Amino acid sequence: MTDKINLAEKFALLEKAYVPGIVGYMNDYKLQIVKIQGPFVWHKHDETDDFFLVLRGRLTIHLRDRDINLEPGEIFVVPRGVEHCPDAVEETEVLLIEPSGTVNTGDAGGEKTAEPLIL
């Protein structure tokens, strides 16, 4: 049986921006936290939507036609197949939920591709 997950305690274990950590699972989805600072890479996930909930800081999700600006307590679900680029000026803490096999850089690959830590 799993225990409860305290997100602040888990974020304290993350050292680097854009290296996500898995804090739990729901069915075949991973519950993942990440610190975002600076621009990520443009990418998309053809096979899944992508759930973002901001917990601390401010997150901009650049889309090709507009920016989504999120503050704590705000969610945005990037639809499958839609190109996006997360970005933050200050270090920003985000909860991500997506199918367990989802790669952070989607179709883009490159040096920011990271295996999640198991927290």
Contact between 48 and a second copy by CB under 8 A: the answer reads: yes
Evaluate whether 90 touches 59 at the Cβ level (below 8 Å).
no
Q: Which of 36, 70, 88, 94 binds a second copy (CB under 8 A)?
A: 70
Residue 85 interacts with a second copy (CB under 8 A): yes or no: no
The reply on whether position 2 binds a second copy by CB under 8 A is yes
Which one-letter DSSP state was computed for residue 64?
Answer: S
Selected binder of a second copy within 15, 26, 46, 101 (CB under 8 A)? 26
Q: How far apart are CA 12 and CA 56, in angstroms?
A: 13
Regarding 25 and contact with a second copy (CB under 8 A), the answer is yes
d(CA 90, CA 36): 8
* Interface positions, 4-23, toward a second copy (CB under 8 A): 4-8, 23
Span between the terminal Cα atoms of the chain, in Å: 16
Residues 96 and 49: beta-carbon distance below 8 Å:
no
H or E element: which one contains 60?
Answer: strand 59-63
Of 16 and 25, CB closest to a second copy: 25
Least separation in angstroms between CB 105 and a second copy: 19
Q: Which amino acid is at 43?
A: H
Q: Which residues bind a second copy (CB under 8 A)?
A: 1-8, 23-27, 29, 31, 48-51, 53, 55, 68-70, 73-77, 79-80, 82, 95, 97, 99
